[in-house]
Amino acid sequence: MSRLLQTPFLPSVTLPTKTRSSVTGFRVKPRIIPIQAKIREIFMPALSSTMTEGKIVSWVKSEGDKLNKGESVVVVESDKADMDVETFYDGYLAAIMVEEGGVAPVGSAIALLAETEDEIADAKAKASGGGGDSQAPTSSPPTAAIEAPVSVEKKIAAPPVSVKAVAASAVHPASEGGKRIVASPYAKKLAKELKVELAGLVGSGPMGRIVAKDVEAVAAGGGVQAAVAVKEVVAAPGVELGSVVPFTTMQGAVSRNMVESLTVPTFRVGYTITTDALDALYKKIKSKGVTMTALLAKATALALAKHPVVNSSCRDGNSFVYNSSINVAVAVAIDGGLITPVLQNADKVDIYSLSRKWKELVDKARAKQLQPQEYNTGTFTLSNLGMFGVDRFDAILPPGTGAIMAVGASQPSVVATKDGRIGMKNQMQVNVTADHRVIYGSDLAQFLQTLASIIEDPKDLTF
Amino acid sequence: MQSAMALSFSQTSFTRPNHVLGSSGSVFSTPRSLRFCGLRREAFGFSTSNQLAIRSNRIQFLSRKSFQVSASASSNGNGAPPKSFDYDLIIIGAGVGGHGAALHAVEKGLKTAIIEGDVVGGTCVNRGCVPSKALLAVSGRMRELQNEHHMKSFGLQVSAAGYDRQGVADHANNLATKIRNNLTNSMKAIGVDILTGFGSVLGPQKVKYGKDNIITAKDIIIATGSVPFVPKGIEVDGKTVITSDHALKLESVPEWIAIVGSGYIGLEFSDVYTALGSEVTFIEALDQLMPGFDPEISKLAQRVLINPRKIDYHTGVFASKITPARDGKPVLIELIDAKTKEPKDTLEVDAALIATGRAPFTNGLGLENVNVVTQRGFIPVDERMRVIDGKGTLVPNLYCIGDANGKLMLAHAASAQGISVVEQVSGRDHVLNHLSIPAACFTHPEISMVGLTEPQAKEKGEKEGFKVSVVKTSFKANTKALAENEGEGIAKMIYRPDNGEILGVHIFGLHAADLIHEASNAIALGTRIQDIKLAVHAHPTLSEVLDELFKAAKVESHATTRTVSEKVVV
């Protein structure tokens, strides 16, 4: 279960984001490709002193075209302007490594130039072999291979809707018996972006036309096809048993991160916290849009403010940083993996703003529109599986942070009270995993004690 | 230094007495700070071109004086009736072209009448530029308010922006009414006779209007304009298959609308409809969207105005048949390949807007009475807007301006042509330089242009043996554009590096339509880049985009002092 917490902490995670320009904005990791004498790389040039990355506007030449020295090959958009980029050598454009609309850091290879026509094939092989990642941007967005409980539940919930859509809509009158696809311009655009196959999809628009929300529904819910699969095999939606499935980019990244996390010596400290007061407060201010997640994040942030070492991070093994702001990352399962939207300065922002911010982040995460700073700037992570009835679990520490807290469900428990009676209290278990190079047992213990006192007397949460 | 300045000042005032007259004593009211300019002018020295400038200034002065004399003779507004004619000038059609001609004619002391068979204001005011700007003003705001990312970058929070269709439609209609009244009043106020009824030419210098009113005039201008062009096979019902005439009333906002034609009109409507929530499909006969624009501009415009919006397109196809929605069926559009004419696709949409250009409105004008044969409906004219008859000879005293002659189908071009004609009939020869007339498309952001496109200029350069250079600047580097969070856009200038002549300027970006005039004026007045690059632009303004453009140009010849010295005088 805990492995699903790891994905977002990779700087190189390629998130299929829906950008304003509709072109999928992807990021490409610089790759090191063994350079042979006659196959040259075309680099992303620095077009201005402030430019750190460039977006490929369009390729003037296509693969296989002959290039003469000084000819423009590609149009690059920098932070200032669009510029034609020229080649310094004669040769053939062998392989394009960053497609139109893609973003690449300055200095990274965006294409390969072969000296002779014979070498084009070599170069192509190089481009696809050497840059394992380079395929990622164009490949389909990661599908639901990490079976987070949420996504399973979502899929089970999806069928009634989809099935209804199938039943309700007639065949489009002009679709010539299904031969032609009638979809609105935006639906087509979205389908291309979200890699949804329009054929076979049944529209809910006027006269059975496929409209944007049909495509979105498929992209979000796994689609009609998936729904049908669920009907047959509820336990494993859309999974072909016995097949070997290569990792998607996201899964590959998770795998690497998991292995990397083994280099950090971690330990765990647990605590049981009574939540009666917190539950009461939650009931009181729930109507104002406050969520339990925001309350927990706020309480955690206030406790972190008193124990800066728990909010620190050690990257090189020789020194560590007391992070200047308290950014609480909260794990959210989304379709096809998980992400940790970050509540920045959670100790300073009031609970109402924090709740609004959280709602906005979750919406963005679902729409895959989170910006990098909205998911990779966390200094402390919260993972809550309490809503599934999980009473305790432990988490793996995301590389680059100091600690992560696993939160279980708050349950009514029979407890002995101080005056010797037996009482009923709501209690939840939390379990913190921390980097022992910088955070010691007593640090965590004191942090948890502070956290418990805040949650058990939560008046400070709504200041 | 002080004394040097003072000296130069006194010299300035002595060496330019003629300018004192011309600019009504401006030297005496010249602010002291301008002394420095005087010094600068001295540094440049007098050149022959400078002398020329002074002389032309004097000519202007003289001509203005003579005009004043004639104007005072006709101080009762519209000129005194000539002996043999009812009017000096009759204009058929009270659109923007006719209006511009009428105002200028009265200024020139001509007794003028204008005939209108429909409503004053013509296409531009009632069914064109004016109401569409009202809709575009709404769409621009909608787009901005809906763009959460944009708003957030300003630190603004806006909750769900919505619109009331009738309210938007009313705004467009009210604007048209207001401008129409302004136009009517401006003509009435100076005594132009507005004659109601359909006008036609009866013979030389003779016009009929209404049922059987016949009037005569020394000169006649035809300014009957145009109507939306609807290709064969397309059935317009005004509800689901519409032209711009209907679309501007905004009686509905269809969920999915096909726009046939991706020129100015189609592009502007795509901006309106997508902002109001419609999805749009463009149908373009040529291989490329926005065929009339400079290729680079249309490429960029496509990236900003088409790709990120809810728009798709079919290029290289004709809409051979369009059937309006009826009996519960949607609008059906049959597409055929533009070259092979083979059926290609069928579309079904909620509405179709026909924006395939405009056809001249010249039927029933009585052109046969003066032996004029129209060409595809257009009235043939020479470069002075004089009508040419079937044998290729000029018809005396008959002129045609605006969309009806098809030279350049823009409201302001019609007006400029009208003014040019009035200049001629009042005794001053004038030929309008059409290459200096700017054009604009009011999308968000706007597109504007003047002069030649890059391919046109290169072709001309090759033919006439001169080199053509191109410079570009980006809105991304402009402070004001960045302050507005509107850094998307470029300006591009095509020019002759040998003599600094501006051949064309194309702008795509915030307020491009307002920015183009610096370039179009420079072309109209023959200002060279080496001169205009010394002009000063306020900082921070969008006009600096053009400033940078001029400064980036590499011209081989040096600045003449003309522009600078002119500045000293005024």
* Residues A60-70 pLDDT 10s: 888 888 888 77
Answer yes or no: are the C-beta atoms of B115 and B89 closer than 8 Å. Answer: no
The CATH number of domain B435-552, selected from 3.40.1010.10, 3.30.390.30, 1.10.3720.10, 3.40.190.170: 3.30.390.30
Half-sphere exposure of A217 (CA within 13 A, CB side): 23
Q: Would you call A81 and B312 a contact, using CB atoms and an 8 Å cutoff?
A: no
- Find the largest Cα–Cα distance for chain B: 90
According to DSSP, the residues that pair with B282 across neighbouring strands are B259, B313
Distance (Å) of CA A268 to CA A313, A320, A322, B354, B451: 16, 20, 21, 70, 74
Q: Give the integer Cα–Cα distance in Å for B221 and B425.
A: 11
SS3 B111: coil
Question: What confidence score (pLDDT) does residue A6 get?
Answer: 40
Q: What is the pTM of this model?
A: 0.59
**B263 is annotated as contributing to ligand binding:** yes
B476 in contact with chain A, both atoms CB, cutoff 8 A: yes
The shortest CB-CB distance from A188 to any of B280, B312, B346 is to B312
Spatial contact of A308 and A293, defined as CB atoms under 8 Å apart: no
User: Cβ of A184 and B308 within 8 Å?
Assistant: no
Q: Is A436 a catalytic residue?
A: yes
B/e letters for B534-560, b = 16+ CB within 10 Å, e = fewer, are ebeeeeebbbbbbbbbbeebebeeebb
> Residue B474 and residue A23: Cβ atoms within 8 Å?
no
Q: Give the residue range(s) of CATH 3.50.50.60 domains in chain B.
A: 87-228+360-426, 241-356
List CB contacts of A462: < 8 A, sequence separation 6 or more. A281, A285, A350, A351
Counting residues of chain B whose pLDDT is more than 90, the rounded percentage is 72
Chain region(s) in chain B for CATH 3.30.390.30: 435-552
Here the tokens at position A138 are 């164009």
Average model confidence (pLDDT) across chain B: 85
Higher pLDDT, A312 or A118: A312
Most confident of A86-90, A139-143, B348-352: B348-352
- Of B420 and A233, which is predicted with more confidence? B420
pLDDT value at residue A197: 81
Look at residue A14 and give its three-state secondary structure. coil
B39 is in an annotated binding site: no
- Would you identify the CATH topology of the domain B87-228+360-426? FAD/NAD(P)-binding domain (3.50.50)
Q: Would you list the DSSP string of B222-288? A: E---EEE---TTB---SSSEEEHHHHTT-----SEEEEE--SHHHHHHHHHHHHTT-EEEEEESSSS
CA B337 to chain centre: 33
d(CA B257, CA B279): 6
Nearest to B335 by CA among B292, B289, B282: B282
Kindly report, residue by residue over B115-166, the tens digit of the pLDDT.
999 899 999 999 999 999 999 999 999 999 888 888 888 888 877 788 999 9
- Shortest alpha-carbon distance between residue A25 and chain B (Å): 12
Cβ–Cβ contacts within 10 Å for residue B78, how many?
A: 20
Q: For residues B277 and B255, what is the distance between their CA atoms, to the nearest angstrom?
A: 7
Kind of pairing between the strands at A72-77 and A328-330:
unpaired
Q: Residue A318: pLDDT above 90?
A: no
Answer whether B312 touches A (CB < 8 Å): yes
Tell me which chain A residues have a C-beta less than 8 angstroms from the C-beta of B256.
Answer: 184-185, 209
Reading phi first (left if > 0) and then psi (alpha if -120 to 50, else beta), residue B201 is in: beta
Q: Give φ, ψ of B199 to 5 degrees.
A: -100, 145
User: What is the CATH T-level fold of the domain B241-356, as seen in this structure?
Assistant: FAD/NAD(P)-binding domain (3.50.50)
The residue-averaged pLDDT of B381-391 equals 94
What ipTM was assigned to the predicted interfaces of this complex?
A: 0.70
pLDDT at A221 over 70: no
Is A22 within 8 Å of B307 when comparing Cβ atoms? yes
Between CA A394 and CA A269 the distance in angstroms is 10
What one-character DSSP code corresponds to residue B393?
P
Nearest to A174 among B308, B346, B476 (CB): B346
DSSP H or E stretch at residue A297: helix A292-306
B284 is in an annotated binding site: yes
Instruction: Count Cβ atoms below 10 Å from residue B568 Cβ, excluding itself.
Output: 21
Share of chain A above pLDDT 90, in %: 21
Mean pLDDT in residue range A338-361: 89
Per-residue confidence (pLDDT) for residue B79, from 0 to 100 = 52
